[in-house]
Structure 1
Amino acid sequence: MGILEIFKQGDAVTKFVTVLLLAMSVASWVVILWKAWLLRRASRGVTGSIAAFWQSPSVEDANRIVGAFDRESLVMPLIVATQAKGEGTLAVAGDKSQQLTRLLRDALHGVLDRLQFGQVLLATVGSTAPFVGLLGTVWGIYHALTGIALAGQITIDKVAGPVGEALIMTAAGLAVAIPAVLGYNIFGRVIGRIEADLEGFARDLRELLLHRSALSVDGPPLDARTPSGGSALHEVRSVGAE
């Protein structure tokens, strides 16, 4: 006897458990298929986009070149974030290093949120579906034992059928949970690899832009000079000696 027969003959609790397991299974499989497609494109897109960026003649040209590879828009948000303008706001407060760190961190969080979408659902289904199925099993066995007690006699045919029907709910819970757990673990590993690539790219991009900013400044930094032309370090040492 299958799930359909149990659903037809069951009470409200049995029907609720059956519908809940069906909904959890459909939701998890939709997420699994969607994330498999997304992460497959994302893995190729991130690798190609990063390679295209470093082969570009300039950051400005990289905006156009990287866009052709970054189909899931995972690398471009990092590049665009560094070009944001916010004159007169706290967004430009602090030195260049602090600004880039803040902008890249926010952009990276937004990208990673997209990659992590659906992982909570898979983890929830994988951890709760067996217990939902067990609830259906316990409830079914309870009704089976109640029916046997009312009948006044115990025979193998009266025990095997109801108990077997109840145990199907446990199997259904496991059938829902196992794909969700496998998908969560596999996707988590792929997301971790993509996340490492994006974090490395963000760090390298920050260093590149800081280096360009330093080269655009003529002469040594202002904090390394004193009004008399001597070094700040020499002045500090002279004051300490006095």
Structure 2
Amino acid sequence: MDARVDQLRHRRAHLPETAEIDALRVSRDAILDKVRDAQIVVDDLSVEQAKAEADVEQARARRARDRDRMDRGLITNPKDLQRMTYELESLERRVSSLEDSELDIMEQAERAEASLERLREELAGHEERLAELEAGRERKSAEIDAELHAAIGQRAPVAAEIPEDLLSLYDKLRQTKDGVGAALLRARQCSGCRLTLDHAELAVINNTPTDQVVRCEECNRILVRTAESGLPSS
């Protein structure tokens, strides 16, 4: 019964989903960091794009204003007209340069947004898988808990029939012997440490009353004698 309880507790603590969940959480957190970094890039490019658009609009507005003045014949002085012509040529080059810069920023923004979207999709996939694994782990944990509760319940009435001093010795041995306080003596071998007892030890055990506790000389566990123990009288 105690072995069954220990097995159930071990199963609960080492569910296969747990290892995958832990690995996915590490991967998810790494992707989340990338998403944050990608969002910063997108936000920065958005600010740059807004500024570029404003610069282009400002240059276009000035170009349109100067052209309108020239077209309407508001500039009559030859020198002023020549200066305005040069200024318009300069504005054309500036508008062209600003538009190129704006286009370049827009392309960068598109690539950054596409990268961000891919990372978000990857993150969503991780979150979905994590939810599935966590639900599966909770379901299995609940099933094991039910089995564990039943196993502990079955142990209680049996333990109540064992003398208190023997149960205390058994429990102490379990704490220091990997959870095994008593071992079957089968075919002259202790099932706890796998040591084969010699004939002298077997003779001593054989002559020991059945209601008296015997212990393995090698591992010190309580030995449980059965018809399969290999004792001379068995």
Q: Tell whether the structures are fold-level matches, with TM greater than 0.5.
A: no
The structure carrying a bigger strand percent of its residues is 2
TM-score, normalisation: structure 2: 0.41
The structure that has the greater radius of gyration is 2
Q: Normalised by the size of structure 1, how large is the TM-score?
A: 0.40
